[in-house]
């Protein structure tokens, strides 16, 4: 019966998919992942254009770049130094903005800034251009008795073009930061995310029509059955996601009743009962593992399924604006 559903293969695949999904979410929610991916473009482009330069003749190289190895080294050194300075400036501005948002609006809004894709792509772009210039610089060599000189003219010209792109990145970054720290932009973003969560629930929270009917029947007969088995949280934290659709597909079987006692945004401890199962004998190790697998408990809240978190951030911003320390009633209203 339910043992067929809770097979070893099913448990393993559910756990494996859950681990992959959790790791993907964690990587995308970190600040460093996207910049790291973008910065890899620097070495890739350097390898590509250095290979093109290696296939060019000396006459062709001189027709493209009229300077020598000394001039090329100077240009690349200047580009590398300028881009790493720009990256440091961008990170300094980001830290100042995070401090301003935390003190002026609400610390709960910091996660939205750290996940801002434009900031992440620009930071990665700075490091990509820096890495490109360093790699090309390392390949330049003077002629000697043992080897020939190598001047990657095309790569140097590409580095010049990338330096102007880096300047454009810096201007875009300053403009973007000046826009996103405005309270109107913060409020609009939070309101849009909250309404999106309310009006268009996550696919993980949607149930099929037959599952809704089965759930209704379970509710009608819940209190007429025997005492349920209580399932407690494994660790303290916030309920970030409940993969309800996957949970129903995995656990729905004749005679099995599951009652969830938490929702996204709730804080739980190791003593908190998060679910009840009837009949009690069906709450075996596989069942408990499946429930814990599809109820994600993390250290912080997420607005994807938790509309209350968006409302909380808006309320905190308004309350802080009305406080005597800030005294900004216009923002509060």
And the tokens for 227? 């005492």
- Let me know if residue 246 belongs to a domain: yes
What is this structure's pTM? 0.76
Q: What percent of the chain has pLDDT over 70?
A: 78
Whether residues 36 and 18 share a domain: the answer is no
Same domain, 217 and 173: no
> In the sheet where 257-260 sits, what is the strand order?
229-232, 273-278, 257-260
Q: Say how many domains are in the chain.
A: 2
pLDDT bucket at 82, cuts 50 / 70 / 90:
very high
- Strands (E) located in 38-133: none
Residues 172 and 236 placed together within one structural domain of the fold:
no
Do 146 and 239 fall into the same domain?
Answer: no
- The residue out of 181, 212, 234 marking a domain boundary is 181
Residue-level pLDDT at 190: 87
Residue 69 lies in a domain: yes
Q: pLDDT of 23-79, one tens digit each?
A: 777 777 788 899 999 999 999 999 999 998 888 765 555 556 677 888 889 999 999
Instruction: Print the SS3 string covering 152-215.
Output: CHHHHHHHHHHHHHHHHHHHHHHHHHHHHCCHHHHHHHHHHHHHHHHHCCCHHHCCCHHHHHHH
- Share of residues in the chain with pLDDT > 90 (%): 30
Same domain, 168 and 245: no
CATH number of the domain where residue 245 is located: 3.90.1170.30
Distance CA 2, CA 246 (A): 16
Q: Please indicate, yes or no, whether residues 15 and 47 belong to a single structural domain of this protein.
A: no
Per-residue DSSP letter, 141: B
Tell me: do 122 and 231 sit in the same domain.
Answer: no
Q: Does the structure show a pLDDT above 50 at 1?
A: no
Q: Is 237 found in the same domain as 173? A: no
303: which 2 tokens? 């607005």
Sequence-separated (6 or more) residues with CB below 8 Å from residue 21: none
Expressed as residue numbers, the domain containing 269 is: 2-22+202-304
Rounded to the nearest 5 degrees, what angle is found at the Cα of 119, between the Cα atoms of 176 and 49?
A: 115
How confident is the model over 265-286, as pLDDT tens digits? 999 999 999 998 877 887 888 8
For residues 77 and 149, membership in a common domain is answered with yes
* Same domain? 37 vs 16: no
Last residue of some domain: 146, 181, 216?
181
Which SS3 state, helix, strand or coil, does residue 3 take?
helix
- Residue range 195-222: average pLDDT? 63
- On whether residue 59 sits in a domain, the answer given is yes
Domain membership of residue 332 (yes or no) is no
Parallel, antiparallel or unpaired: strands 229-232 and 295-298: unpaired
Do 11 and 129 lie in one domain? The reply is no
In degrees rounded to 5, what are phi and psi of residue 271? -100, -5
Q: What is the rounded distance in angstroms from the CA atom of residue 109 to the CA atom of residue 309?
A: 10
Average pLDDT (112-140) is: 91
Residues 223 and 149 in one domain: no
In angstroms, the CA 116 to CA 97 distance is 13
């Amino acid at each position: 019966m339910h043992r067929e559903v809770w097979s070893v293969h099913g448990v393993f695949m559910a756990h494996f998919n859950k681990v992959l999904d959790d790791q993907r979410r964690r990587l995308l929610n970190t600040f460093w992942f996207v910049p790291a991916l973008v910065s890899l473009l620097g070495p890739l482009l350097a390898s590509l254009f250095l290979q093109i330069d290696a296939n060019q003749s000396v006459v062709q190289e001189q027709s493209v770049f009229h300077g020598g190895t000394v001039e090329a080294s100077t240009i690349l050194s200047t580009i590398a130094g300028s881009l790493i300075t720009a990256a440091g400036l961008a990170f300094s501005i980001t830290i100042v903005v995070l401090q301003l948002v935390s003190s002026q609006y609400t610390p709960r809004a910091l996660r939205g800034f750290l996940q801002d894709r434009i900031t992440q792509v620009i930071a990665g772009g700075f490091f990509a251009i820096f890495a490109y210039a360093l790699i090309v610089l390392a390949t330049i060599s003077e002629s000697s008795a043992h080897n020939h000189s190598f001047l990657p003219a095309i790569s140097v010209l590409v580095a010049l073009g990338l330096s102007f792109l880096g300047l454009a990145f810096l201007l875009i970054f300053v403009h973007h930061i000046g826009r996103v720290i405005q309270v109107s932009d913060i409020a609009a973003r939070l309101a849009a995310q909250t309404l999106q969560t309310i009006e268009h629930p996550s696919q993980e929270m949607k149930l099929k029509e037959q599952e809704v009917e089965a759930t209704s029947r379970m509710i009608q007969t819940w209190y007429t059955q025997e005492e349920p088995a209580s399932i407690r949280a494994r660790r303290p934290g916030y309920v970030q996601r409940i993969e309800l659709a996957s949970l129903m597909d995995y656990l729905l079987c004749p005679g099995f009743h599951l009652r969830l006692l938490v929702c996204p945004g709730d804080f739980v401890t190791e003593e908190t009962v998060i679910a009840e199962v009837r009949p009690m004998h069906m709450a075996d190790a596989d069942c408990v593992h499946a429930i814990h697998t599809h109820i994600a408990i993390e250290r912080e809240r997420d607005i994807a399924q938790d509309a209350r978190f968006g409302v909380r951030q808006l309320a905190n911003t308004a309350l802080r604006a009305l406080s005597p320390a800030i005294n900004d009633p216009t923002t509060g209203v």
